[in-house]
Every structure is written in C-alpha cells, then in structure tokens.
Amino acid sequence: WLGGALASMGAIFAAVRAGERLSTTCEHSGGIWGTAISGLLPFFVLSVLLWARTLLLAARGQFPREAATGKRTPPSSSPVPITMGIDLKDGESNSDDAEAPGYVEPAEAQATGKSWSARSLVLKRLSPRSSAAAHSAGYRWPLFAAVTGAVLIFSLVYLRNDLESYEAYAEDLDGRWGFLQDAQRAGANVAPVWVGEFGTDTESAWWQNFVRYLRERPHLGWAYWSLNGQKRAYQPETYGLLMEDEVTVRHPWKLQALQALGASR
C-alpha cells in the first residue's frame, strides 16, 4: 500500500508537469490550474480507481494476503461441523462431530473422559479464526483511510503551492519572452517587450503574480484591457476597469494595483 501511495503521488506530479508542456498557462478560480488539466485528469482517474480497489480489498480483509501471494486464497475444503440447537451435557458424546473428517477431540476432553458440548466446540474451533480476521480488518480500514487522506491532502497542498507560487510563474514567463529583459543574461534588452490587453475580474494569484512581474521589470511596457464597462450594448464587461456608466470603478483593488504599478516606473 505504501508503494501504491507513492506511485499515485508520482503520477499526479508527472501529470502536472506534462500539463505545463501541453497547455497554455491561464488562471482558474484563483490559481494557475489550467496548465495541469490536459495531463492530470487521466492519471487522477486511474489513481482514484486503484485506491478504491485497494480500500475495498482492505475492508474485506483480503488485501494483505492477496498482495503477498498474488493469488486469491480458495475457501477451506473441510468446513467445520456445526450442530444447531444441540447442547450436550458432560458425559454425552456427539457422534456427528466424532465422525467428521479431520476431527480431533480436544486434549482436555481426552484427559477427563468427557466430551465437549457442540456449542462450546463450535465456539472454540471457530472463534480464533473469525475474530482474528475481524480484528485485523478493523485495524486495516482506518489505516488505509488515513494513508489515502494524507496522500490526497499532501498532493493538493503541494500542487496549490507550486502552481500559484511566484517563482514558478516568473520562471514560465522568463522561458517564453522574459529573458529579453533579464539584465543578468547576455544580450538582455535586445528587443522591446510590450504586454498588451491583459486583464481579469478576480484578485487571484495570477493577477498578483503578473503585477509583481511587471513591477520588478521596469523596462516592460504594458497596457490594461479593458477600460470600458460594456462589452457590447447592454452587456457588461467584467474585465472592465469601469462600470457600464463609464464613471464608477468596477474593481477598486484593480485600479489601486495599476496606479501603484504606474507610479513605480
């Protein structure tokens, strides 16, 4: 199960990296999650199915035995004889039990010359196996549930921190065109860079990272889109800096960020 947990985590992280190569960075619900969708979904579905099967086997008490042997253990071919509704007293014998294949009278009964009652015999012959299996399965289920929850939480926290971090975002833009403005590289400022028509309607991690990226590179030119509050007649422009009346500010936090960015030039 530990190997399965590590394999699931590895599949999730590999899917994120593959998604970054196959899709375009974009924002979604406050984070840069669009980069991982193309590669993450198949691995995520496969991981969920494998973990569901693992938990089902653990709940049924079959996982450890089957995982060790790779085969299903067939049921016992010699069932324990059970006599219903009979409770023999001391001194009496149970002919059905005595004639059953593989039956061995307990040592205590042989020493005292008395036969155990059918009810006592059944309990003593069945309880150790059944109670041990139930006891073991009862401990496996919380363990597997805890491991699965820990893997899921750790994966989500890691992905959120990685996808929304400024370092990862800046590295992505530097690899595309930001290197033209990197003073630490040879041939920096070899071409002007103008970032036009960028906008958003949420104060998300993408917005905060992009404004910081522009602020730390004063040679970058930029233009926000859009200023007007209507996309077309009677249809609001949610990315607009103004409301439909072209006077009221739609998002004050956006105007403050742009004013601070302009003042830093």
- Can you tell me the distance from the alpha carbon of 261 to that of 3, in angstroms, rounded to the nearest whole number? 49
Please say whether the beta carbons of 46 and 14 come within 8 A. Answer: no
**Residue 215's domain spans which residues?**
170-263
Among candidate residues 143, 165, 187, the one where a domain is terminated? 165
223 three-class SS: strand
pLDDT of residue 171: 86
Query: Do 181 and 254 fall into the same domain?
Result: yes
Taking the model in full, what pTM does it have?
0.48
Q: What is the mean pLDDT, run by run of 10 residues, along the chain of 265 residues?
A: 62 62 47 54 70 66 50 51 44 46 49 48 46 54 66 66 78 85 68 86 89 90 90 88 92 94 86
pLDDT of residue 25: 47
On whether residue 161 sits in a domain, the answer given is yes
Query: Do 49 and 152 fall into the same domain?
Result: yes
- Can you tell me the distance from the alpha carbon of 118 to that of 89, in angstroms, rounded to the nearest whole number? 9
Query: Do 202 and 227 fall into the same domain?
Result: yes
Query: Do 137 and 27 fall into the same domain?
Result: yes
On whether residue 105 sits in a domain, the answer given is no
On whether residue 214 sits in a domain, the answer given is yes
Query: Do 198 and 242 fall into the same domain?
Result: yes
Q: How many domains are contained in the chain?
A: 2
On whether residue 247 sits in a domain, the answer given is yes
- Can you tell me the distance from the alpha carbon of 92 to that of 255, in angstroms, rounded to the nearest whole number? 96
Query: Do 51 and 177 fall into the same domain?
Result: no
Query: Do 179 and 233 fall into the same domain?
Result: yes
Peptide bond into 226 cis (omega under 30): yes
Q: Residues of 206-245 as b/e, b for ≥16 C-beta within 10 angstroms?
A: bbebbbebbeebeebebebeeeebbeeeeeebebbbbbbe
pLDDT of residue 213: 93
With tokens 């975002």, the residue in question is 169
With tokens 């003042």, the residue in question is 263
Torsion of CA 59, 64, 67, 71, to 10 degrees: -90
On whether residue 211 sits in a domain, the answer given is yes
- Can you tell me the distance from the alpha carbon of 11 to that of 142, in angstroms, rounded to the nearest whole number? 24
On whether residue 118 sits in a domain, the answer given is no
pLDDT of residue 35: 52
Q: What angle do the packed helices 205-215 and 252-263 form, to 10 degrees?
A: 20
SS3 content of the chain, % helix, strand, coil (to 5): 55, 5, 35
Query: Do 146 and 204 fall into the same domain?
Result: no
